[in-house]
Structure 1
Amino acid sequence: MRANHSDLSRGLPAGSRCRAQRHASGLWMLAAEVPGAHLTRLAGAVDLGYLDEPAARPGLAHLLEHALFLGSRRWPESDALSRWVGEQGGRYNAYTGDTATDVHLQLPPAAAGDGLARLCELLAWPCFDPALVEREVAVLDAEFRARLADPELHRLAALGQLCRAGHAAQLCHAGHAASLAGSGEALAAELRTLHRHYRPPRMALAMLGPQPLEEQLALLAHHAAALDASAPPPAPTRAWRWAEPGGVAWQLPDATHDASHCMELLWPLPVDLANAYRPYLDGVAAHLADGALAATLGQTATLSDMQVTSEPAGSGPGLSLRLDFASPPPPLSELLACLYPAMGEALRDPLTPPISLAANNTAALDQWPRRQARRLSGQAPNPPASVRSDGHAALAAWLAPDQCRLLWQQPAAAQQNSDWRLLEETATWVQPIALPAASPPHAPAPRPAPRLDTSSMGAPETSDTRRCWLGRPPWPAAEHEAESVSHCALGWPAPESGARLHHWRQRCLALSQAAQAQGAGLQLGGDRLGDWLIASGTPDQVRALAEQALAAWPADGYAHAADSPAAGLVAQRLLGRLESAPPPVNTEASPSPLCWASDAADLLARCPPVPGTPAPPANPTDTVWLAPRATDHAVMLEVMGADASPRSRWLLHLLGQCHDAAFQQALRQRQGLGYAAAVRYREAAGWPRLGYVVQSPHADVDTLRQAIEAFIASEAVPLARLPPAALDAQRRGLLARHGPPETYPAALERVWQALRQAPPPVGESALPSHLGSPWQQDMQSLAGLAPKDLLGAAEALHTGTLPRRWWLHHPPGAH
């Protein structure tokens, strides 16, 4: 049995082949052959989420997800999967949602079969060792404490206030020591009972890779036989969760430093209806994000981000429109007066963005297996076919203005009356909001999306100081199509400023949306070498995108407001600093603008010049303290490469892969220091670095620092003693992830970053082959590494020869 093959390929590169089949056991199998993919992406999903767990055990579904990784019948060691994935140079993770749970892996194609075997074993035959389960509750408790600083946890808490009284969606399901109290034996028994739902009729396996479609389906069918085929218990009853339409305002527990205004408008849908009209629903979302609505709202407030999705997190199927404001938003009645007509137009005229090389992105490849597996795991054996022609008639009543729900994150200044109420478990402040019944007499006039079919400026004289590369990167996967895609990349000197880059992206929000909706691409960036952009698409689109993005660049100064407070774990904020921290030596920007374009010189000349400003000298320090924002302690050791050569980049990549699983096992599992413990690779302006990061709710900064130092002293060198065969496996993993790019936009950015770091051309020069495909040189460098080279890098880390920097965070008031 097959289902909706044409819909499965939405968002994938042209030439991809997809198929969904029902296995004899009832398991859904999905495969996507993507010829340009270099990684194989696997996902296993189960139609069981946190809303299905026993009412007396909130957090049990989350604990079950964690317990899957604590050993299985065939591989009983608690770190078996993490060690094996690390040896392959791959990645893995899992996620428990409201109605589905998924486990996903990314591996080199040669490891796909073994990866499927381990994935199926993990899903079907976990050990549930009581001692390990009891220890994992402490990990979940640390995670819960860490997430108390994450706005997403408080969003879910506020979302529950829009649900019917007594429904499970009103509760917090993250899990912590109080909600999961009890012995390891009792918890393991409860997990086994809940795990009985992990049976093929309620599961899906998905695979995306370069392998032929038929080979993928055969692999999936072969490994599906390892799943437990015994009959599952009856599926949990899922009653409609939503109360009558209304709104809720919410605030973080400590909103002192939070100036966020974030509005989310939500239209819930029944599952069967959403599945039946999925393409139409995605088209409505795409129309709302075509740039016109963002341009209209930009007349009344500064919109920093806008996200539209048919799969909002934690709320089941529906349509969600999320608006992040950098300034106070307009009155709610005025805002809704802009939104409701835009919704009506999107319902009447859904948009299907064109498939083009310029619009492809790696994130879509990463998301496809998870999204499709989660969708199909809960579908009946004979799901309704997608209906395209009458989607408006079927969904109009559900997506009407009077069916809207509103979530509004407000800053601390908004809490000025007694209507606010504290949700004790998460310490989230909430307040009901009545949605206005009538529109105001005056609302901003609708604005069209930015035009990409015309350019607005004449061609200036080409400056003598402008340095230009001409040519395209080689793209064998779609050579003919690549020849029809134009691009222009521009870079210019500017002091590094995250605030200015954030402000520039705000100004270009509608332009970026218009580019995506019309099959073009716009990338904006900045680092110590200066600011830059890449525009891609047709020649007219490239000219229009480059001109408008340059016109929006904040050239009037650099005193812009700082970015909004970082969301997520403190450990994630620390790792983010690796992408902007200064290198160990000063790297000066080019003294003049740099261009790289695909076509003739007139395309370059159409891009106006920008003023150059010298970059400030680097001022590295040995220790950096983050401003206290959360209740956890966190420490990160930043280790920098000896230089910015391909050899240094590969050696740090390899060290990270050798150390990550053991670091997590040592600090998180054995020492119980906290939830987050990881080793991650990052680059800033081409300079490689590793971050050894740990976050803890109870251990102080000195303890965490000593734990990192002890790990490096005892494990850095032994873990890097790889035999040739093991090093070859690591190479395959690195090449799959960091070798030739998988999408054309990724290739453009890879070449552009190499050009920014290479000696500049004199005037206009044809792009030389070694710069047109820098990954070829990188592959040669990786192939030349021997086990002794990796061992030497580990010894340099152990002895402190490699440059390093400590990043520290303590809670407010701690010393």
Structure 2
Amino acid sequence: MVETRQLRLHKGLRVTLIHQPDAQQAAALAQVAVGSHDEPDAWPGLAHLLEHLLFSDSARFQGDERLMPWVQAAGGRLNATTLPRSSAWFFEVEPALLAEGAARLADMLAAPQFPSEAIAQEAAVIDAEYRLIQQHTPSRREAALYTRVSAPSAFQRFHIGSREAFGDDMAALKEALHQFHQRFFVAGETQLLLQGPQSLAALEQLAHDFAGRLPSGRAAPRAEEIRFLSQADIALTTHSPGALGITFYLHDFTHDVRDNVTLLREFLQDEAPDGAMHSLRQQAWAQQLTFSWLSLDATGSWLALQFDTEQPDAVCAWLAHALRALAHTSSAQRAHYLQLAQQRFAALTPLDQLRERAFGFAPPAQTTHFSALLRQLAQAPQARLWSAASVQGEATETQGFSLQLQPWTPGHFHGALPPLRFHPLAHRHAELTPPADRAPLISLAGDAPATLLLRPPFFTAVSPADAAAIDRRLRPLFALLRHQGGAGSWREAQGVWQLEAQLPAGSEGWLASLPDALRLDGSPPAEPPPDDVAIRELLRQLPQAVAARSATGRWRAALYGGSPEQQAVIAQWLAPLARESDDPCPPPRAGRCLTVAHPSRDRALLLFLPAPPEVSLAALRALALLMEPRFFQRMRVEQQIGYVVSCRYQRCADRDGILFALQSPDVAPDALRAQCETFLQQFAIAEEAERLATLQSRLCAQLTAASARAEKLQRALRQAHGLRDLGRASVDALTPQALRQAQAQLVIGWPGAVALETRCVETQ
């Protein structure tokens, strides 16, 4: 059972501790109440630059011992973000490493060294980010909304940072960083969140150790309520599909009321038949709805709902209609949707749960304040943004962007608004007859509920277009399954699109709908629009380039848990989808170089280097752990290639290998590829027994973490088809010689790499 404790330590540090007994990972997040709005006028982008620089040397930890390379070497995750009124740094590692990570996090916040070379490097990186973000549609939409604020003036200010904004006087910039840091990075402005399987007492001790590194103090109050212009609605010219943002400013917003926004999101994103989101899709008014906070602090909060739509007038009318309907929901319905929101939250990793808590989307403990939220939304000042290619705006320079804006007012909607139905509903179960045949179904003994995994044959790939079409058909089925006590997902894992579903008793009707939902259409479906970030678009395209062939429409099935009777029924319902096959393993595509058209002017390269069969998975994955921080150091820090730099182990379309990812504003893909090859050739592997033991420990931790039902089912399917997986014996047998042999084999196999690179295509 999850236990939570909140504290305020003697220095003023606010602490949230979460004991999660079954957690396979542990996480920490430090949030400081300082953001881009707090920068001196003379130094726009200073908060963003400081966010980057805190990952450089601190008083106690330099070089490879800094938090970033240390977490990378441990196979963990980390990141940071600068918001208008706060900044946060966070990481996730195996539980045994949480104390070491928290010590590094505390030291980098309390005692950064600001090396001059690091300042110059990160200023260059931020300048490259600024150039990239110029064409980033979500950032442009956010900047357009900020023009609707009349106060505070900080919303109108340039805050990303650039080489020009930082100037050439490194001494003056360093002094500004010191002063900014000393003013705000004190215990009274900081909140620490810790989560893991450790006891609350152990987590509290970590918090006390963390607080010991921070100076005492509070900064002077400085937050100011947001006020909108009298004409608060605006339209923006974009090259992306149409989108409507509807924002609300909520005054005097307590945490109890704020957390109910997560419950509101659960109601409005309901994709079950006749649910709120399903009604939008059925009317072809919108395909997606996302929630975000544009600003979040003690004085008030600015909430944004964004709809992907070409019908802004209808959506504006629909939202008002939906909020009125929610005011009449019963206590049983609110309790039901709250349970769904809590289940969704519980399924997140510890790090993602901390992010939701810190950034305003943790579910409430109860529904008591939901009516208060609805009343505040009804009375809240609004600012709305309609963005589309059809908008004929006038050029406006604001916040470092060149935007085409025009005044806009949604028109009056005269159509009929669809009725909305909220669960729980009374269901009448129709009698269904399953097929006579049975699908081949690998079954693993386990606790109920039964968990089903469906994936395409090995070494095949579902195209992005087919994956998007299947996703649209599965969404209402998954939503209905959640209302029935189950859960489902359609996601890409290791380059393979797969369905995972927890099936409660009585799921026959749901199973009967799967063949139609999972069909691969004969005619090519419409391609989804490219991702705004070039490297992410290449990642989306990679499985198709690595796979031996396209998916055939037949599926491999495995089941964890469930009674023998339930297993037999499930096998019958899967008969139209899964059939016997030996799944021959043809050689994968290799030695390919594909060019992907993309509107970004950046040069992006994704290079997947498959490992030859003679390279053990333990050696491959250990080598990747060694290379990741050093690759980052060489490309990102020493050579300043760009802002996306990654080298890691990757399984893609059932092939194991090393994945290099680079995105640069200046360096051509051919040069990036040469840099990767040189790095691999020159990489030196040390002999230290201590380093080897650390690698083995990290790999064993990854084995332990891969204990979820989906991972067990994946392993069972791979074993049934003669494919290998990481095992404890190969980890124990790891030697420096095996690492060097793996490196040599990868160097020899370099011509077999699959490379994807971008080619700039100007948008019209």
**TM-score bucket (shorter structure):** 0.7 to 0.9
- Matches of 1:503 and 1:160, distance apart in 2: 35
- Give how far 1:193 is off: 1.4
SS of 2:546's equivalent?
Answer: coil
CA, structure 1 residues 233+524, in 2 after alignment: closer, same or farther (shift >3 Å)?
closer
Matched residue, 1:263: 244
1:642-694, Cα deviation, whole Å (9 max, x unpaired): 24x9x744433322221122112212221122222221333223322322222
SS of 2:318's equivalent?
Answer: helix
Matched residue, 1:573: 537
Matched residue, 1:293: 276
SS of 1:508's equivalent?
Answer: helix
CA, structure 1 residues 531+140, in 2 after alignment: closer, same or farther (shift >3 Å)?
closer
- Give how far 1:339 is off: 2.0
1:60-89, Cα deviation, whole Å (9 max, x unpaired): 100011111221122244873333223433
CA, structure 1 residues 528+398, in 2 after alignment: closer, same or farther (shift >3 Å)?
closer
SS of 1:642's equivalent?
Answer: coil
CA, structure 1 residues 812+565, in 2 after alignment: closer, same or farther (shift >3 Å)?
closer
Residue 399 (structure 1) aligned with residue 363 (structure 2): no
Normalized against structure 2, the TM-score is what?
0.87
- Give how far 1:489 is off: 3.4
- Matches of 1:359 and 1:472, distance apart in 2: 25
Residue 365 (structure 1) aligned with residue 350 (structure 2): yes
Matched residue, 2:203: 216
SS of 1:557's equivalent?
Answer: coil
Matched residue, 2:189: 202
- Matches of 1:507 and 1:431, distance apart in 2: 37
Matched residue, 1:433: 408
- Matches of 1:796 and 1:126, distance apart in 2: 41
1:330-379, Cα deviation, whole Å (9 max, x unpaired): 3x332223222212233454454437998576535222223435669xxx
Equivalent pair of 2:232/2:382 in contact (CA under 8 Å):
yes
Equivalent pair of 2:19/2:195 in contact (CA under 8 Å):
yes
% of aligned pairs identical? 22
- Matches of 2:276 and 2:341, distance apart in 1: 23
Q: Greater shift after overlay, 507-516 or 673-682?
A: 507-516
Matched residue, 1:609: 576
Matched residue, 1:10: none
SS of 1:363's equivalent?
Answer: coil
- Name which of 20, 24, 32 aligns with 2:18: 32
Residue 99 (structure 1) aligned with residue 77 (structure 2): no
- Matches of 2:95 and 2:234, distance apart in 1: 47
CA, structure 1 residues 299+733, in 2 after alignment: closer, same or farther (shift >3 Å)?
same
Matched residue, 1:757: 718
Structure 1 unaligned spans of 5+: 1-14, 377-384, 474-482, 761-769
Matched residue, 2:323: 343
- Matches of 2:301 and 2:605, distance apart in 1: 39
- Matches of 1:605 and 1:452, distance apart in 2: 27
CA, structure 1 residues 472+243, in 2 after alignment: closer, same or farther (shift >3 Å)?
farther
Equivalent pair of 1:299/1:444 in contact (CA under 8 Å):
no
- Matches of 2:492 and 2:209, distance apart in 1: 48
Equivalent pair of 1:40/1:107 in contact (CA under 8 Å):
yes
Task: Map residues 443-458 of structure 1 onto 2, 5 A cutoff.
Answer: 443-446=417-420, 458=432
- Matches of 1:348 and 1:113, distance apart in 2: 48
CA, structure 1 residues 452+701, in 2 after alignment: closer, same or farther (shift >3 Å)?
farther
Structure 2 unaligned spans of 5+: none
Q: Which amino acid aligns with 1:366?
A: L
1:514-562, Cα deviation, whole Å (9 max, x unpaired): 445665211225799986522214223x434433344333444241100
- Matches of 1:559 and 1:180, distance apart in 2: 49
- Matches of 1:577 and 1:428, distance apart in 2: 30
Equivalent pair of 1:543/1:607 in contact (CA under 8 Å):
no
Task: Map residues 625-664 of structure 1 onto 2, 5 A cutoff.
Answer: 625-643=595-613, 648-664=616-632
Matched residue, 1:499: 465
CA, structure 1 residues 796+528, in 2 after alignment: closer, same or farther (shift >3 Å)?
closer
Matched residue, 1:792: 741
Matched residue, 1:109: 95
Q: Which amino acid aligns with 2:115?
A: D
Equivalent pair of 2:141/2:236 in contact (CA under 8 Å):
yes
- Matches of 1:672 and 1:423, distance apart in 2: 29
- Give how far 1:59 is off: 0.8
Q: Which amino acid aligns with 1:354?
A: Q
- Give how far 1:459 is off: 2.7
Equivalent pair of 1:423/1:429 in contact (CA under 8 Å):
no
Residue 173 (structure 1) aligned with residue 159 (structure 2): yes
Residue 724 (structure 1) aligned with residue 689 (structure 2): yes
Q: Greater shift after overlay, 725-734 or 153-162?
A: 725-734
Equivalent pair of 2:125/2:643 in contact (CA under 8 Å):
yes
- Give how far 1:609 is off: 1.6
Normalized against structure 1, the TM-score is what?
0.82
Matched residue, 1:16: 2
- Matches of 1:101 and 1:592, distance apart in 2: 45
Residue 805 (structure 1) aligned with residue 743 (structure 2): no
- Matches of 1:148 and 1:675, distance apart in 2: 15
- Matches of 1:40 and 1:677, distance apart in 2: 25
Equivalent pair of 2:109/2:185 in contact (CA under 8 Å):
yes
Equivalent pair of 1:43/1:102 in contact (CA under 8 Å):
yes
Task: Map residues 545-564 of structure 1 onto 2, 5 A cutoff.
Answer: 545-564=510-529
Q: Which amino acid aligns with 2:527?
A: A
SS of 2:323's equivalent?
Answer: helix
SS of 2:597's equivalent?
Answer: coil
CA, structure 1 residues 750+138, in 2 after alignment: closer, same or farther (shift >3 Å)?
same
- Give how far 1:458 is off: 1.6
Equivalent pair of 1:495/1:613 in contact (CA under 8 Å):
no
- Matches of 1:69 and 1:532, distance apart in 2: 36
Q: Which amino acid aligns with 1:793?
A: A
- Give how far 1:319 is off: 4.1
CA, structure 1 residues 517+737, in 2 after alignment: closer, same or farther (shift >3 Å)?
farther
Q: Which amino acid aligns with 1:808?
A: E
- Give how far 1:611 is off: 8.6
SS of 2:348's equivalent?
Answer: helix
Q: Which amino acid aligns with 1:551?
A: D
SS of 1:398's equivalent?
Answer: helix
Q: Which amino acid aligns with 1:31?
A: L
Equivalent pair of 2:435/2:575 in contact (CA under 8 Å):
no
- Name which of 168, 172, 175 aligns with 1:189: 175
Identify the structure with bigger relative contact order (alpha carbons < 8 Å, sequence gap 6+).
1
SS of 1:688's equivalent?
Answer: strand
CA, structure 1 residues 812+529, in 2 after alignment: closer, same or farther (shift >3 Å)?
closer
Equivalent pair of 1:489/1:535 in contact (CA under 8 Å):
yes
Q: Which amino acid aligns with 1:296?
A: S
Q: CA RMSD in A?
A: 3.7
Residue 748 (structure 1) aligned with residue 748 (structure 2): no
- Matches of 2:662 and 2:170, distance apart in 1: 26
Matched residue, 2:440: 467
Equivalent pair of 2:57/2:66 in contact (CA under 8 Å):
yes
- Name which of 665, 681, 692 aligns with 1:697: 665
SS of 2:468's equivalent?
Answer: helix
Q: Greater shift after overlay, 110-119 or 599-608?
A: 599-608
1:570-596, Cα deviation, whole Å (9 max, x unpaired): 23333444444324x679979776453
- Name which of 140, 160, 166 aligns with 1:154: 140
Equivalent pair of 2:158/2:398 in contact (CA under 8 Å):
no
CA, structure 1 residues 521+420, in 2 after alignment: closer, same or farther (shift >3 Å)?
farther
Matched residue, 1:59: 45
Residue 681 (structure 1) aligned with residue 649 (structure 2): yes
SS of 1:345's equivalent?
Answer: helix
- Give how far 1:184 is off: 1.1
1:31-74, Cα deviation, whole Å (9 max, x unpaired): 11111112111111101111221233221100011111221122
- Matches of 1:367 and 1:695, distance apart in 2: 25
- Give how far 1:90 is off: 2.6
Equivalent pair of 2:34/2:87 in contact (CA under 8 Å):
yes
CA, structure 1 residues 690+580, in 2 after alignment: closer, same or farther (shift >3 Å)?
farther
